[in-house]
A = this chain, B = another copy of it.
């Protein structure tokens, strides 16, 4: 069975900025989905902010193995209830790939618990990405380094917890950045990939598309679904005989029922 990807796109710049429209005529989300489906093992659908439930209904999330997320101008417009559902699905095992300005999305900050802040400069400078681990699945088929001719710069400090660093970026303007980082949260795998400013054709570039395909294959659930990661069940009776007498309840097992 193919890996079922849902490509989420904010889909705002595409309607306000002529340049973005010219680079991604059908929207960044549609373009990314098409790039992914060029791989025979992947099937991709799209979802956008303007759709009901932002296109992320229970049914869609239930059928999604990996969710990719690109947002920038409207992070605040994403409903918390949807963020709750996406977080729950990641903890169950759904992969999450956060792209570029998605670093400031509610879902990325929610999953990591940190600021996810960084420094930036939008000047179309040259970016060069370096592979930190040539044997990592996400680096499969990627050369030791590759150049993106024009990109927005992101710089350190990047407010994330420690993760597995797969790519570093070098910027013409003088910065270095952790551009590809992996995290495990619950049963889900999360990958942040830095490139992808809306005004440049980054997602048209072969190496970038290859990284996205690799990331999807890395992030897809390999284990079983963690059905209810938020459950806090009371375990009574115990598996082993408890001989200690409970000074609070006596031998009859108690339980506040608060959980």
Oligomeric state, in copies? 4
Q: List A106-131 residues whose CB lies under 8 Å from chain B.
A: 110-115, 117-126, 128, 130-131
Further contacts, 20 of them, CB under 8 A, given A119-B232, A122-B249: A73-B258, A104-B259, A119-B233, A120-B259, A123-B238, A125-B244, A128-B174, A128-B239, A131-B157, A132-B157, A145-B239, A159-B229, A159-B230, A169-B176, A170-B176, A172-B240, A173-B240, A174-B238, A175-B235, A200-B247
Q: List 5 A-B contacts (CB under 8 A).
A: A72-B256, A72-B258, A101-B258, A130-B157, A156-B168
A149 to B230 alpha-carbon distance, docked (Å): 29
When the two chains form their complex, are residues B178 and A170 in contact, meaning their CB atoms are under 8 A apart?
Answer: no
Chain A residues with a Cβ under 8 A of chain B: 19, 72-73, 87, 91-93, 101, 104, 110-115, 117-126, 128, 130-141, 144-145, 149-150, 153, 155-159, 161-165, 168-178, 183-188, 199-200, 217-218, 221-227, 229-236, 238-240, 242-249, 253-256, 258-259
Residues of B close to A168: CB separation below 8 A: 156, 168, 176-178
Give which listed residue, B111, B140, B223, contacts A113 with CB less than 8 A. B111
Give which listed residue, B93, B236, B239, B242, contacts A135 with CB less than 8 A. B93
Main SS of chain A's interface residues?
Answer: loop
Residues of B close to A145: CB separation below 8 A: 174, 239
Residues of B close to A255: CB separation below 8 A: 121-122
When the two chains form their complex, are residues A242 and B172 in contact, meaning their CB atoms are under 8 A apart?
Answer: yes
A248 to B168 alpha-carbon distance, docked (Å): 24
Residues of B close to A149: CB separation below 8 A: 244
Nearest CB of chain B from residue A228's CB, rounded to whole Å: 8
When the two chains form their complex, are residues A140 and B248 in contact, meaning their CB atoms are under 8 A apart?
Answer: no
